[in-house]
Every structure is written in structure tokens, then in C-alpha cells.
Structure 1
Amino acid sequence: MSRMKVNHTVVTEFILLGLSSDPAQQILLFSLVLLTYLLTLVGNLAIMTLICVDRCLQTPMYFLLGNLSFIEICYTSSTVPKMLWNLVSGDRTISFTGCALQMYFFVTLGGTECVLLSAMAYDRYAAICHPLRYTVLMSQPTCKGLLTVSWTVGNFNSIINTALVFSLDFCNSNQIQHFFCDIPPLLHLSCSDTRLSKLVTFTVSGCGITMSFFLTLLSYIFIIFTVLKIRTSQGRIKAFSTCASHLTVVSIFYGTIIFTYLTPSSSHSTELEQLVSVLYAIITPLLNPLIYSFRNKDVQSALRRLFGTNT
């Protein structure tokens, strides 16, 4: 659908081309994405429930983890249900407003998670480097403040990027080479001069990602120096083990986000962009509860207490 304006067609809705146009592949995609989405919801809801009902998990670390699980549920829900509907119905259209809202929520949640992961790194720094002052450094007001900062940065980043992208002109072509409304494919689609938009997007998103990554890295530098001072190898392994899950999550998240938003779009293909997007938009929210929680001894103990088992 379109309207005429100044002798050219202005787009009023978009078509999400998705990952494949092959009907057989679409059936397989629908099944796999639906299964992944349901497992993501179950895994993250289980983590949130455990943290709420088990007093032993009501600590700063798990307070932040519970909020991470909440963000993951919202994050994947901002794109996957629409993708599933497109696959099952064959209707791939999304309104101009719907596309803008999808981008706003997706970028907000991604930015919030980025800062929250830095807060979780700070939590590990406080626990390992200053164990006697941990309760002071990670007090309840501090935890709430870190969460507020995370959501504020995420919203600020998203408002600027969404407003900037949707102030551009989209003429004639309305086919998005993606399965959701993301910044790079929409910049490709615009018929406006996008140089300023790309610069602002790179600067705003880059500052948020780079600052969060730097703070996370700084926390781990201090952690490494502290752990190396531990005399016994068993003590060093135990200290590092408390960070292993967070490091895994951080590596996956930052690797995919930096590839998508901070590398030149001309350096990689559309197919590779979509593959990486699947990783951070669909797979990572599923992996986080598995990597970060279910291999955690505290969570395993909480599960045993919840179900009344001692094994």
C-alpha cells in the first residue's frame, strides 16, 4: 500500500521478506523458531520464578539475572511472534507504525541488555575483589540504580535511532531484506541520503556499546588481577568459575551486536547479516538461561528445594 506525494510513491507499509521464500523451508523454519521461542519463554520464566520463590536466590546477582531473563522474554517477543505469523499466514506485510514500534522495542531491549551485562560484570567485580564490602557496593538502592540506568540508556538510544530512521523517505520499494524491522536493512531501503543517519547511528549506538563493553572489560581486568593473587589453584578455579557463564553470555552478545551495528555494511552480505541476527535475536535468549543458570549450583539447589528432592 502507498500514497502519492510530489510525483513519487511514498511507502506506508513494508514487506518482510524473511529468511526464505521456499514453502518447504518455511514449514521447517516455523517449527524450529516456534520450538526455540517456547523453550526461551519456559527457560526464562523458570529462572524468574525460582528467584522470586527461593530466598537463597534473592541476592544482587540473581536480582540482576532475573531482570535479564525478563528482558530476554520481551526481547525475543518483539520479533518472533510476528515472524511466526508471517510464516504461517503468508502475509508478510507490516504497517509503517508497526515497523517503527518493532524497531523501538527491539533496540530498547537490546541496549538495556547491553548495559545490564556491564552491571552484572560489576557485581562479579564487587564479589571477587571486595567480598567484605559486597553488601555495601551492591546494596538494594545500587541494584535498582543500575537497573534504572540500563533502561534509561536503552530507551535513549532507541528513541534517537528510531526517530532518525523513520524520518527518512522510503520511496517505491517497500521490501525489507530481513525478518524484522532492524536499523541496517531499513537504511539500505531508504531513498534519502543516509550518510548522516549512518553517522549518528554509529556514534550513538557505538558509544553505548563501546562504553558498556569497556566497563565490562575493566571489571574483568580487576577480577583477573585479584584471582591471580589467590595462592591455591583450587581457589583460583572456584573464583573464575563464578564468572565463566557471564563471560560466555557477554562474548556471544557483544560479538553479534558489534558485527551488526559497528562494522561497515558493505563488508558482509545480507545473508550473513540475517544469520547473525538469528543468533542474537532468537538463539541467544534461549542460551542465556541454560548457560547462566541451569549449570549454576545455586540454581540447581533451588530446583531441588522447589521439587522437594535431595539428589
Structure 2
Amino acid sequence: KHWVHEGGISTPLVAHWPKGIDKKLYGKFDHQPAHLIDLMATCVDLAKADYPKNVKGKKIIPMQGVSLQPAFSGNKFKRENPIFWEHEGNRAIRIGKWKLVAKGANGAWELYNLNEDRSELNDLSQKYPERANQMAEKWEAWAIEAKAKPWPWNRKKKNSYSKKKAYSLQHDANLGQDQAPMIAKKAFEVEVQIEKQGDGVLVAQGGDTHGWVLFLKNDFPHFALTLGGKIETIIGNEKLTLKDGKVLAKLNSDGKVELFSGKRKLGSGKVSSLVKEMPIDGLQVGRDEGGTVGDYKDEFAFDGKIKKVRIKIN
């Protein structure tokens, strides 16, 4: 069961529910593919329950999968998204009759028509390269969203992190973990020059476990840290104006946070500690990709214009 080819992941499911399954279907086979994630969706559906969007005030990943209940009366599942797999680098995605699968983190993608080739003997990836590429792109996007990637065994060691102490970045900059500032247990400051006023993320580094973010909301500056999954936010008590032109956030070694625009102080506060571990997610200017650091939805892309970002590690 190590592999995600059919021999590793294809297992019969026996459903028993005398009051809920049509008697005409007793002993019958339904060949629609299902996944473990569909069991939760089925239970929620049958219980007429609502899957929560937040737990203890923190947004959680939406429920995955679809209810299997339609099959209990001989109907089709209402599946709109592909089925994905990842296990120790073995990868697969299924869309209808088509399955793209690879053995190992560095293995080549193989494409199969499961309606005609259930044993996965006739690789069609060369015959249908466009289909294979499209499915591979969908898998990669899912893997990042589901945090299956980056691979845990490829995480960088401490001595491979960036040793730079100063950064100058532009709008839409995107740095990977090995290029981003090494902020673990470090005090630092970030200054953003703004050309056009707006709301959204100015700079974000990390994700929903470890990281920091500077963002504007209703023109008030917010500086937030995620420490072991807990968000701590310092909100300025004065608005930033376009006339100000820039905002500076300082995180001091004692956890004190100060917000400025030039010499004008916009606010201050204190967080419980510095960021204790180097985040796996990288750094973005103007948005927050991957796991979100702050208490906002999705990437919370900045709808203004950023001229320049300066980051200094102290």
C-alpha cells in the first residue's frame, strides 16, 4: 500500500445501511471512484450537519470530498474536483476515466485511461502530452494548497538559509525559503514605500504555523506574527495616508512592536516572542501565498501600488 498506482490505492468499499440503501442495489457493484475524504462528506450530508469554517476563532481548511449518498439510490456523485493522492512522494490525480500517476518524488508522470487499462500497462503520456501537462499542473497546485509540498525531506538545513541582513524588494517579489530573510529568533524591521493607497498585504513571510505579515486594513497598519499556529496582531491607532508615503514596522528583541510613518508614530504593542522557527513558506510582497499568516481571507492581495520594500535583520 506504499504506491498510488491502482494496486496500492484501489480497495473495495462495502456499504451496509438497510434503511438508506435501495434494496434493488443489494449485492450490486458501483464502479464510481471514491476516496477516504468522501467519508466525512457523506457523514455530514446524512446527518444534515454543517461543517465548520472556523475552530477556536481560526479559519480551517474547507471540507474535502463529496457525499457518497447518491450511490445508495443508484445515482452519480456530484464530484466537481479531481481526486488527488500523495504518499511519500508518490503522486496521482484522477479526472473521470483519466489518471496521471508517478512513482516517487522524482518519477516521471504516467497517463492511463482506466476504463480501458485498469492495470496501468499502457502509458499514454506521450500520446496525450497536453492532457498530461494540464493534470500535472492541477496536481502541483493542489499539493501546495494541501501542504503536501514542499517535500519534508527537502527542507533546508539552518546553514543553507540566507545570510543576508538587508533586502530591497519590489511589488510582486516572491522569495523561496532559502532566499527569504532568516528571521528565526531575530529582531527585524520592514519599511514599505507606497505609491497608491489601498488595503491588503504589504509583505508576508511564512504561513499559518510560523511567520509575520504587515498589512493595511481600512488604512490602519497591522503587524501580525503567527507563533506555533497562534496569531498575535498589533494594530496601529492612527491611519496611514498617501501623504505619509511609507510605513515602518519594527519588531524588537523583547517582543515590542512599533509602527511608524517617518517620525510619526502610528502605534505600538507587544507580542509574546520572536518567531521561533524559520517558516517553510517563503516571502511575498503585495500578497500572502500558501498558508496565511494573518487573520484574513485567501491571499488578501494589496489593491494599491507598492514602490519599494526594505527589510533589515537586526
What TM bracket, shorter-length normalisation? under 0.3
| Larger relative strand fraction | 2
Larger Rg: 2
Structure scoring higher RCO (CA < 8 A, sep ≥ 6) equals 1
- TM norm structure 1: 0.21
| Larger relative helix fraction | 1
